[in-house]
Amino acid sequence: MSMQENNDLTERVHALETAQAVQVATQAGASATTAATHAGTWSTMVAGSAGLVAGIFLGMAIAKA
pLDDT (tens digit per residue) in 37-46: 999 999 999 9
Indicate if the pLDDT at residue 10 is higher than 80.
Answer: yes
Would the CA dihedral through 58, 60, 63, 65 be positive or negative? negative
Please give the average per-residue pLDDT across 48-57, as a whole number.
96
Distance from C-alpha of 18 to C-alpha of 12, rounded to nearest angstrom: 10
pTM over the 0.75 mark? no
